[in-house]
Amino acid sequence: MKKLFLTVFLFLLLFIAYVLFKTFTFSSSQLQVAAIEQSEIPEGAVDRFVEALKIRTVSFENKADFDSTQFQLFNQFLKERYPLTDSLLEHKIFNQFSHLYKWQGKDDALDPVILMSHIDVVPIASPRKWTVHPFTEGVKGDTIYGRGTIDDKFGVVGILESAEQLLGEGYQPNRTIYFAFGHDEEVLGHLGAETIVNYLKSEGVQAAFVLDEGQAIVERMIPGLNQQVALIGVAEKGYASVELRVDMAGGHSSMPVKETAIDVLADAVRKVKQNPMPAELTYALDGLMDKLGPEMDFKTKLFFANRKLFKPFILKAYENGSPAANASVRTTASPTIFEAGIKQNVIPTSARAVVNFRILPGETLDDIKEYISKVIDDDRISIRSIGVSSPASPISPITSSGYKILDQTIKEVFPNLLTAPNLVIGATDARYYTALSENVYRFVPYYINPENLACFHGIDERVSVNEFENGIRFYRQLILNGTQLK
């Protein structure tokens, strides 16, 4: 008995020693780069940004609401406010309102870089709730308000301000660089991003790397970490909707049968919701733990350093964390439509529900259908996919020169930031561009924190003047670093 106790004790001691060893040797892999001198901000940049924000380039679900005059105004804005870009770069317009600029590099043998953004914005639900009107006012104090400040005219104007500035200085890139601005990102991007990608494909373009929106600098959003982090999206989740349908005998509500179409469907939806697809650590999250683990508080560092041992606990923590944390470890299911019945006293003969899935990289629509049919386990329910779906994107490596350039540029312009890869849980135009490059990244240098999180697609969308100016500095440095690269 004593011997057994001793063996267990020794084993435990070894285990603790191993875990601590892994923790203490889990050291920072953050890129060390010297900060650069802050570049000048072009005169009138904030005014031009506000001018862009005032143009109501809204994408509506209902195509009939599309206001082409606003998009026409935006075309004019680009032409008038960025005359060097407009005249010196090759400029193509797709479906009237999406723009592609090509800045020819000196060396044709080098693969080009593509910087993306989008011109359209989402509609305003309640303009009265805004601190300042989302389309008419602009700056208040040191904050710029307006629909599109973060999503995503920040990118359009930031890129063009820096390009115009560099053109004014006579800068010539070694490597060709494209600026691609779609005008229908908020409604799937078929006219903009998809069309531009098809054109570039037909031209045989293979890009060194592509940068779109999707992630940002986050502060106080990651438990166990006090520093600000620039998250670089290396993949995005897929999107699919599945219809569940049941057809059964109806009848009069005065003589209810044991189970009706409504009961069967409700039960099926409950099962889908209560039995989520299994949680998994993706390459993106693994990379995030590698990059941020050593910077975190001791407890989190210990878990991340020994993630093979503690994987179930880490996954549990994500599952029980915020909805976004849960969404980053699994394919999620959201019932979004539930329909049955036409009259108060009639038991309906059919019922249908739609469940929207966001698919984790590595899983497919077929996996989902198979999984939910097993979970529902009721052959009265028919399962079929409906509407538009897109698979999860491939995962871009963090070892590419594109990623390294981004990492370096972020640290040169924002000296105190950590950087880490991450999974984008929404969908962006970038998914089309994975056809043109293995290295597609998603990052815009504005700040997201618990205070402004809700302004994204919501009320009081805003950035500070300082953030916008640093955005211009970031794109300038990225163009320089990306196109000097041999």
Binding piece for Zn ion, criterion CB under 5 A, among 146-154, 306-314, 383-391, 398-406? 146-154
Residue among 185, 212, 213, 467 flagged as catalytic: 185
Q: How far is the CB of 112 from Zn ion (least distance, A)?
A: 23
Q: How far is the CB of 401 from Zn ion (least distance, A)?
A: 26
CA 175 to chain centre: 27
Residue (of 385, 381, 388) closest to 352 by Cα position: 381
For 38, which DSSP code?
P
**CA distances (Å), origin 269, targets 341, 351, 376, 381, 477:** 17, 12, 8, 10, 50
Binding piece for Zn ion, criterion CB under 5 A, among 152-160, 274-282, 288-296, 415-423? 152-160
Q: How far is the CB of 121 from Zn ion (least distance, A)?
A: 8
Pairing, β 238-247 against β 350-359: antiparallel
Q: Verify binding: residue 161, Zn ion, rule CB under 5 A.
A: no
Backbone angles phi and psi of 104, in degrees to 5: -65, 130
In the residue annotation, 339 being an active-site residue is answered as: no
Binding piece for Zn ion, criterion CB under 5 A, among 128-136, 149-157, 342-350, 389-397? 149-157
Q: How far is the CB of 148 from Zn ion (least distance, A)?
A: 9
Rounded Cα gap, residues 280 and 331, in angstroms: 9
Q: How far is the CB of 117 from Zn ion (least distance, A)?
A: 8
The answer to whether the peptide bond before residue 460 is cis (omega within 30 degrees of 0) is no
Residue number with CB closer to Zn ion (300 or 422): 422
Residue 123's CB is within 10 A of a number of other CB atoms, namely 14
Question: Which residues inside 196-215 make contact with Zn ion, applying CB under 5 A?
Answer: none
Q: Verify binding: residue 151, Zn ion, rule CB under 5 A.
A: yes
Residue number with CB closer to Zn ion (218 or 355): 218
CA angle 280, 285, 290 (to 5 degrees): 130
Q: How far is the CB of 152 from Zn ion (least distance, A)?
A: 4
Q: How far is the CB of 465 from Zn ion (least distance, A)?
A: 21
Q: Facing residues of 308 across strands?
A: none
Residue number with CB closer to Zn ion (152 or 164): 152
Residue number with CB closer to Zn ion (181 or 318): 181
**CA distances (Å), origin 268, targets 352, 368, 383:** 11, 14, 11
Number of H helices, E strands in the chain: 15, 19
Reduce the DSSP state of residue 29 to 3 states and report it.
coil
Q: Which of 111, 120, 152, 407 binds Zn ion (CB under 5 A)?
A: 152
Rounded Cα gap, residues 282 and 271, in angstroms: 25
Q: How far is the CB of 134 from Zn ion (least distance, A)?
A: 16
Q: What share of the chain is helix, strand, coil (3-state, %, to 5)?
A: 40, 20, 40
In the residue annotation, 184 being an active-site residue is answered as: no
Residue number with CB closer to Zn ion (151 or 161): 151
Q: Residue 29 is which amino acid?
A: S
Binding piece for Zn ion, criterion CB under 5 A, among 81-89, 145-153, 214-222, 265-273? 145-153
Rounded Cα gap, residues 229 and 30, in angstroms: 11
Residue number with CB closer to Zn ion (219 or 236): 236
**By rule CB under 5 A, what count of residues binds Zn ion?**
2
Q: Facing residues of 13 across strands?
A: none
Residue (of 340, 333, 425, 337) closest to 372 by Cα position: 333
Binding piece for Zn ion, criterion CB under 5 A, among 143-151, 232-240, 254-262, 284-292? 143-151
Q: Verify binding: residue 461, Zn ion, rule CB under 5 A.
A: no
Residue number with CB closer to Zn ion (151 or 295): 151
Pairing, β 332-340 against β 238-247: unpaired
Residue among 120, 213, 412, 467 flagged as catalytic: 120
User: Contact, 349 vs 340, CB < 8 A?
Assistant: no
Residue number with CB closer to Zn ion (152 or 412): 152
Binding piece for Zn ion, criterion CB under 5 A, among 147-155, 312-320, 408-416, 460-468? 147-155
Would you name the residues annotated as active-site residues? 120, 185
Under the rule (CB under 5 A), what is the footprint of Zn ion?
Answer: 151-152
